[in-house]
Chain A
Amino acid sequence: MFAIAADSALPSVYSAAPDFALKDTSGVNVRLSELRTEVVLINFWSSWCRSCRTEMPKLNELYEEFTDTDVQIIGVNVDDDPAVARRALKELKLNYPVLFDDRHRVSKAYDLPALPVTVLIDRSGQLRFVHQGYRAGNEKFYRDELSLLLAE
């Protein structure tokens, strides 16, 4: 559950998380490296991915739970058209920031094999946990891992 197989395309654990900048829903550019010193959870998703849409409300609950801590939860949408993503977001009613990777530069940098993919990055910018796919109860692992990284 925690480790990714050696032949996975994703960046390996304990490597530097590939830096990127993307626009959020307000049109403001957000850069990952500016979140250094915080614990970051990035969830890659798309509007057509059913597992993603099941997982995201759980991530929203986590976001509420970790408010006022050094945890940042960010969604990265990989739809070709941000308008499609925005329609999905209206239904999901998320409170955490969502960025648009419509040119797929970030999904290429992270070499996503499938969706959803959730990565956790520690305060020094290193990838520490990588989760491919979603199964009910994954949020418990995310909670434990976030707590672990916060305590470091």
Chain B
Amino acid sequence: MTMNSEHTAWKKWVFSTALLAFAAVTQAQVEEPAPAATKPLDDQVQELKQSVLNLNRELFVLEEELLFPANTQVVVFVSMDVGKYFTLDSVELTLDGKEVSAYLYTPRETDALLRGGVQRLHTDNLKVGVHELVAVFTGKGPSGRDYRRATSLSFEKTIGAKFVELRIADRASSQQPEFEVREWE
């Protein structure tokens, strides 16, 4: 066979092979079952939103566990009772001599506390051992006078999370507010 005829035969072979392959693919496509009906777009968007919310929640929990592991975690809460004798303005929190929080309360936040809300003021990591917490409360006392009181707690941090509550309550007997610090068991 000459070069030209060999080349032509090669071209015919390639063409016929490609034609057969194309026919096979087309046939396969024709024989494929029809795809299942797609969900409405609204449903898909809702599912996606829910997935994002779930992921966000899991990431938040993971972040808390990484930043404040239960073994070293200390959480300080603030709560108020009645509030007839004291209007809270701010709380300054010191742990082992270091200021860790200075929180100003807006009227809305004070109202939430009076309605029974409990505020998570501060979260920290502390080693096992004895530690000292000092809280300074500033606000308006009886008769609208400026009021500033401190309370302290020396506590033992063991393995496991430690929860401390700063509670402001009215003492009717003396018509004065009282400030207490207590550990949650």
Contact = CB atoms under 8 A, between A and B. Distances in A.
B106 A31 contact: yes
A105 interface: yes
Interface of B: 89-90, 102-109
B102 A30 contact: no
Contacts, number: 23
Interface of A: 21-23, 28-31, 34, 103, 105
B105 A29 contact: yes
23 contacts: A21-B103, A21-B104, A21-B105, A21-B106, A22-B104, A23-B104, A28-B106, A28-B107, A29-B89, A29-B90, A29-B104, A29-B105, A29-B106, A29-B107, A30-B106, A31-B104, A31-B106, A31-B108, A31-B109, A34-B106, A34-B108, A103-B102, A105-B102
Contacts of A29: 89-90, 104-107
Nearest to B107: A28
A93 to B, nearest CB: 26
A102 to B, nearest CB: 12
Contacts of A31: 104, 106, 108-109
Contacts of B107: 28-29
B33 to A, nearest CB: 46
Nearest to B103: A21
A139 B66 CA distance: 45
A148 B89 CA distance: 36
